Structure 1
């Protein structure tokens, strides 16, 4: 398999100042990755031109991900909150375009955080309308949108591959795909093979996050990696595979709280990144 291999920026830095961006991009290249995934919770604050220049300097590609918050939740019933969410998503698509990327993923359909009630039909309709409009804007710049279903504690709208595929079918946009994440699959799915096969059969297996069950080093938790990588090989998945891990060693002001990153499963980002790259190489080259 010759998949582009990525790493999440939060392995390196909790923000995206000029110095943090250089450190994260340079470190990703040094550790042997093809791509860095930017966490753009506030996309209009990112220096797109500076980021594009750094990516070119180090020969790295980039994707962008984000999760909406309480004030920008496009699955809200409040029209003003939905409008704010639409503006943030539009800014994120424009950021992907301006850094020379072609992928925007994450929790684009709701807030990233715990809900206390199920989604409403009106809220679901708001999310669907917002993403259909966003997909059309993204298509104009050859950008793919990936819907990352998350566990029940981080969204109430899409928790499984099946739910995500149904939602994508409702959108009816060719440039919207399913974004599978092994950390969330380990909580919500009953298999690591069938979701891969289902997404591939629908032509919607578009992006993969590899994260361990405890969000630490790959191969040290309970994710059944052999089952998952065998499924990817069986469907001839050639898309991006991005390593994602979080520790209190690197803290983002809001994301660390939303994801409940209270401890440090690792303290040395470079060692973690090199070990993860070797783990992926070993499993993908089987």
Structure 2
């Protein structure tokens, strides 16, 4: 379960939530690392999550233009590398398995045109330097494919696969999200199958078309999960949903109205629905 439903900075105060998720049947939590200044904070969280038997992944971003990996300014790209290095240090302290998210360009920042070959080259330069550090921390690196209203570098799995071929780092792969695919892919299931066939699929977000409770919208969640099971996918299926609990997050994710009755509905009914889909029930 992605914890962005509740917070952008996870602390010990969320222990009751951890317990509720564990008792619902979740295997782990996805922790946002937006503040990478204190690895010790995440080391403490790791001990709590270990005691509860919860594994963890991480979602990360590029926080601003000042550290964009696609900038034409070498100093800015260096700042991007420094930021990602700090995030990886925190991931290692947390004991995370996957570093997911759109950590290739700042969100909501556009050039006025589509992605340029030189931008992919600049990004690859930064990611190639990051790769051995992430490998040393035992991390799978999964780059999230987002919709065109949030970024422009990777809007489809095909674009992301082309980049991975350019990058040439086996520790990197695609982070697929059913919400974004619902907007951008002509065939969500086909996109998953293609990413799998190329050996690029590393992480999956289960997110409804309105960012609410999985199974209560029109995103092709059931079909995607059926395809993943058929293909032999055995990695994370992580629920991502957004509400109005945290005003800054609500504004960033454009949550202007309620999408569900409660956060508990999202994680209990979402968990049930994913298991139902995996079992092939209700088809």
Shift of 1:95: 1.3
TM-score (norm 2): 0.92
Q: Does 1:161 align with 2:153?
A: no
Q: What residue in structure 1 maps to residue 252 of structure 2?
A: 258
Q: Does 1:277 align with 2:262?
A: no
| Counterpart mapping for 1:1-286 below 5 A | 7-20=1-14, 22-45=15-38, 47-70=41-64, 71-118=66-113, 119-251=115-247, 253=248, 255-286=249-280
Q: 1:82 to 1:267 in 2, by over 3 A?
A: farther
Shift of 1:224: 2.2
User: What SS class does the counterpart of residue 108 from structure 1 fall into?
Assistant: coil
- Give the whole-Å Cα distance in 2 for the aligned partners of 1:152 and 1:29: 35
Contact 1:114–1:153, Cα closer than 8 Å, also in 2: no
Compare relative contact order (CA 8 Å, sep 6+) and give the higher one, 1 or 2: 1
- Give the whole-Å Cα distance in 1 for the aligned partners of 2:255 and 2:63: 17
TM-score (norm 1): 0.91
User: What SS class does the counterpart of residue 68 from structure 1 fall into?
Assistant: coil
Where in structure 1 are there 5+ consecutive unaligned residues? 1-6
Shift of 1:97: 1.1
- Give the whole-Å Cα distance in 1 for the aligned partners of 2:160 and 2:23: 35
Shift of 1:230: 2.2
- Give the whole-Å Cα distance in 2 for the aligned partners of 1:228 and 1:107: 21
- Give the whole-Å Cα distance in 2 for the aligned partners of 1:39 and 1:24: 15
Aligned residues: 277
Q: What residue in structure 2 maps to residue 3 of structure 1?
A: none
Where in structure 2 are there 5+ consecutive unaligned residues? none
Shift of 1:205: 1.2
- Give the whole-Å Cα distance in 2 for the aligned partners of 1:26 and 1:79: 45
Q: 1:199 to 1:248 in 2, by over 3 A?
A: same
CA RMSD of aligned residues (A): 1.7
